[in-house]
């Protein structure tokens, strides 16, 4: 379908805002976001070689957000353009990079019960299973129907069914995404300083395979499903913050293999004088032994946990070595032991976090399935500094260093003795044009 240019969409949206201004009781706002980020990479997400040159680029996210509310109706539209600096010639006629990040309408059946339909972000708890992946310039959103109840017990019931084109027959779906998804999220305040969330998630994927019948190969397709159950407990007595999460996934993976995986996360923070915050934690994502994957590549039992739609960059180090939505999917899992210290005062914030990474399953040595390597993967140090320039803008500077092991090198390649680091500088401008 032909796309409007970004300018056309902005003008249409602005005129729509002006039209809605005729409604005296309506509330609306028009806001924006411009977020350029300059990045230096030398061993980001995977170990580099000693003789490899570093990479560098600048990317930018631009959003125009419209928010409308009147009577029982709410509506939100977010147009987005994500691009690399220099990726387009200075003279160009059209651009197809503009997308619809969010576009949803919400109707309140009662003051506490509503139906929310359309493309929207799904953000729950600490964003481990559902998050908006805000670090990624494109972000994450879902085309979903959401029934929401907001009372002493908060309930969200969501359902999605994806198709990449209109069909007159059947429901074939050939994108690398879930075909259908349903979830139920429950949340309640157990006490004044204790909060409990429970989650049930059902994923449906289309699996394409070849079936040999009578000496002939036939392309076949079927739907496979997996289910995730779990929850999160948050306890905040005084200046302390304790949290624990656990999830279990069962069913079939995207390749129709048996799936049985789990996740456990524990953490604690202590804030001193509203300035210093000290934190410790541990995460365990179950994994699959490499021996099993090699000996039975098509039929092994998948024990690797996948947090599916979470904000992966928030977890397991900012260098994204263990992003289970990408390069660490269906792997040997992960144990992450981490500690952090944060200084925050007025408009300035400084954060230092250290990680020690270990595998959760065995890694074979030199192709010998009867010999395994040490589980230690490496250590990472993340340093970030942020400063609030104004009420609508801020700047963040970050530096990360990975000290990889021979085990990490065996899994990812590259050279663990090389200098593997990553740095970035990011500005965010979020003005409100109309309110």
Closest CA to 80 of 14, 139, 162: 139
Contact yes or no for 260/250 (Cβ under 8 A): yes
Of the candidates 150, 142, 69, which has an alpha carbon nearest to the alpha carbon of residue 107? 69
Please write the tens of the pLDDT for every residue from 47-57.
Answer: 999 889 999 99
> Which residue is it, tokens 């979470």?
310
Residue 325, token pair as written in the block: 């939505």
Q: Could you write out the DSSP letters of every residue in 104-172?
A: EEEEEEETTEEEEEEEE----TTSSSB---TTSTT---EEEEEEEEESSEEEEEEEEE--SS--SSS--
Strands 113-120 and 142-150: antiparallel
**Model pLDDT for residues 206-254, shown as the tens digit of each residue:** 998 888 777 778 788 999 999 999 999 999 999 999 999 999 999 999 9
The pLDDT of residue 282: 99
**Which residue did the predictor score with more confidence, 7 or 425?**
425
* Cα separations in angstroms, 246 against 193, 305, 420: 20, 11, 32
Judged against a pLDDT cut of 60, whether residue 2 lies above it is answered with no
Helix (H) or strand (E) holding 203: strand 194-213
Q: What tens digit of pLDDT does each residue of 322-351 get?
A: 986 667 888 999 999 999 999 999 999 999
Report the range of poorest mean pLDDT among 6-15, 23-32, 144-153, 219-228: 6-15
First to last CA, the chain: 33
Question: Is residue 398 classed as helix, strand or coil in its secondary structure?
Answer: strand
Residue 365 has pLDDT above 70, yes or no: yes
* Position 148 pLDDT exceeds 50: yes
**Over the chain, what is the mean pLDDT?**
92
pLDDT at 15 over 70: no
For 72-131, the pLDDT digits (tens) are: 999 999 999 999 999 888 766 555 578 999 999 999 999 999 999 999 999 999 999 999
Best CA proximity match to 253, nearest among 204, 220, 209, 296: 204
pLDDT tens profile 84-96: 999 888 766 555 5
Each residue of 372-425: pLDDT tens digit?
999 999 999 999 999 999 999 999 999 999 999 999 999 999 999 999 999 999
Contacts of 2 (CB under 8 A, 6+ apart): none
Structural domains in the chain, CATH included, are: 6-434 (2.40.160.100)
SS3 for 247-298 is: EEEEEECCCCCEEEEEEEEEEEEEEECCCEEEEEEEEEECCCCHHHHHHCCC
The rounded distance, in Å, linking the Cα atoms of 63 and 430 is 9
The CA distance from 18 to 6, in Å, is 19
> Is 24's pLDDT higher than 70?
no
pLDDT of residue 210: 83
With tokens 């994957």, the residue in question is 293
Q: b/e for 2-19, b at 16 or more Cβ within 10 A?
A: eeeebeebbeebeeebee
pLDDT for the residue numbered 12: 59
Residue 412 host element (H or E): helix 406-412
241-282 pLDDT, tens per residue?
A: 999 999 999 999 999 999 999 999 999 999 999 999 999 999
DSSP label of 423: E
- Kindly report, residue by residue over 185-204, the tens digit of the pLDDT: 999 999 999 999 999 999 99
Q: What is the model's pLDDT at position 381?
A: 99
Give one DSSP letter per residue of 304-328, joined into a string: ----TBS-GGGSS-TT-TT-TTTTT
207/36 Cα distance (integer angstroms):
38
Instruction: Decide if 379 contacts 356 (C-beta within 8 A).
Output: yes
Which residues, including other chains, have CB under 8 Å from residue 212's CB and lie 6 or more apart? 218
């Amino acid at each position: 379908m032909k796309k409007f240019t970004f300018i056309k969409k902005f003008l249409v949206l602005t005129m729509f805002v002006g039209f809605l201004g005729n409604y005296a009781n309506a509330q609306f706002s028009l806001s924006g976001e411009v977020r350029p980020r300059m990045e230096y990479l030398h061993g980001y997400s995977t170990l580099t070689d000693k003789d490899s040159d570093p990479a560098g680029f600048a990317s930018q996210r631009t959003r125009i957000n419209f928010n409308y509310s009147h009577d029982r109706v709410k509506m939100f539209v977010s147009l987005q353009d994500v691009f690399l600096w220099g990726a387009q010639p200075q003279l160009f006629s059209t651009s197809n990079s503009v997308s619809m990040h969010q576009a949803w309408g919400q109707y309140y059946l009662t003051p506490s019960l509503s139906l929310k339909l359309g493309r929207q972000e799904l953000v729950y708890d600490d964003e481990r299973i559902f998050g908006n992946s805000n670090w990624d310039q494109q972000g994450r959103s879902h085309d979903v129907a959401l029934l929401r109840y907001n009372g002493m017990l908060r309930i969200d019931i969501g359902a999605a069914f994806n198709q990449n084109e209109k069909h007159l027959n059947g429901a074939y779906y050939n994108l690398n995404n879930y075909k259908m998804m349903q979830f139920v999220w429950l949340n309640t305040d157990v006490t004044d300083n204790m909060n409990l969330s429970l989650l049930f998630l059902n994923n449906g994927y289309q699996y394409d395979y070849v079936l040999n019948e009578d000496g002939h190969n036939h392309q076949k397709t079927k739907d496979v499903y997996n289910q995730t159950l779990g929850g999160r407990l948050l306890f905040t007595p005084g200046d302390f913050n304790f949290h624990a999460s656990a999830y279990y996934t069962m069913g079939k993976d995207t390749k129709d293999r048996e799936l049985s995986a789990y996740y456990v996360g524990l953490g604690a923070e202590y804030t001193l004088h509203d300035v210093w915050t000290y934190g410790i934690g541990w995460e365990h994502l179950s994994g699959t032994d490499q021996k099993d994957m090699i000996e039975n590549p098509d039929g092994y039992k998948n024990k690797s946990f996948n947090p599916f739609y979470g904000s992966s960059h928030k977890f397991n180090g900012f260098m994204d070595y263990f992003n289970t939505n990408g390069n660490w999917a269906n792997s040997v899992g992960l144990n992450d032991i981490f500690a952090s210290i944060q200084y925050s005062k007025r408009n300035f914030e400084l954060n230092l976090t250290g990680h020690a990474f270990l595998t959760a399953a065995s890694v074979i040595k030199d192709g010998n399935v009867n010999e395994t390597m040490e589980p230690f993967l490496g250590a990472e140090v993340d340093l970030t500094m942020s400063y609030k320039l104004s009420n609508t803008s801020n700047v963040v500077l970050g530096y990360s260093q990975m000290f990889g092991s021979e085990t990490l090198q065996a899994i990812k390649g590259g050279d663990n003795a090389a200098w593997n680091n990553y740095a970035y500088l990011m500005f965010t401008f979020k003005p409100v044009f109309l309110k």
